[in-house]
Amino acid sequence: MHAEAGGLVEAGLEGKCSIEGFVGGDHGWPRRMTVWLHVETVCFLANMVLCCNHFHAIISEPGMVKRTSQENSLCGVARPLDAIGDGWSLLLVRDAFDGLRRFGEFQKNLGLAKNILATRLRHLVAHGIFEIVPAPDGGSYQEYVLTEKGQALFPLLVALRQWGDAFFFEPGEAHAELVEKKSGHPLLPLQLRGQNGRVLRHADTTVRVPSGEATRARKKARV
């Protein structure tokens, strides 16, 4: 059937056959027209299948799978990932620290599709990192500004930037640099200090996990 249909289409297109060639017989035109419609339908359905397969491949990518919530985690690293665990969220926070406030400004700087950007902004507002405020000039648009919770992310971004500067650029490679506004001097590397002021490294610290009823209650909530 496929070969027959393909032959009819090929014959019909070869040399741009005239209409008289199709209607010369008493039954030629209806028969050819019917087959042509069948071929168009097959092509349409084939394209639909390809599109569906492409869509399935996209939503099946690991990055698109819904993340397990960490809202009941005892870890202060895991729990915030519900709010800022994807790369776009941190980039939006970074841009907000750089002075961007409007939807269009974020979109232009990051190149995000509107629907993705809107979802990320709603997510950050829901988690109390951004808040929506009226335009200062009384315009109809709204602005997204960092809350106190959002502004508290600044040391995290500085630490991430300094880590990126140290390990993701070749020696001497030009890159954006965070500097002190007044002096223009680069910031000193962040350091962790103990109660006595001594600089601490990983080996000097340990994670203390709570025990007892509180721990069991949280573990039960995660089941």
Class of domain 81-190 as given by CATH: mainly alpha
How many angstroms separate the CA atoms of 12 and 19, rounded?
10
Given this model, what pLDDT does residue 189 score? Answer: 95
3-state class of 12 per DSSP? helix
- How does pLDDT run across 9-43, given as a tens digit for each residue? 334 444 444 444 444 445 444 444 444 444 454 44
pLDDT digits (tens, 9 = 90+) for 58-75: 343 334 456 788 888 999
Contacts of 89 (CB under 8 A, 6+ apart): 83, 120, 123, 124, 129
Q: What is the pLDDT of residues 57-116, one digit of tens each?
A: 334 333 445 678 888 899 999 999 999 999 899 999 999 999 999 999 999 999 999 999
Could you tell me the CA-to-CA distances from 84 to 73, 90, 150, 157, 185 in Å, in that order?
A: 15, 6, 10, 11, 29
The pTM of the full predicted model, rounded to 2 decimals, is: 0.66
In this structure, which amino acid lies at residue 138? G
d(CA 16, CA 38): 20
Report the pLDDT value the prediction gives residue 47, as an integer from 0 to 100: 52
Domain ranges of the chain: 2-59, 81-190
Mind listing the pLDDT tens digit for each residue in 174-197?
Answer: 999 999 999 999 999 999 999 999
Label residue 36 exposed, middle or buried (CB < 10 Å: 0-12, 13-18, 19+).
middle
Q: What's the token pair of residue 51?
A: 């599109």
Query: Residue 210 is encoded by which pair of tokens?
Result: 């709570």
Residue 13 three-state SS: helix
Phi-psi region of 126 (alpha: psi -120 to 50; beta: other; left: phi over 0): alpha
According to DSSP, the residues that pair with 144 across neighbouring strands are 132
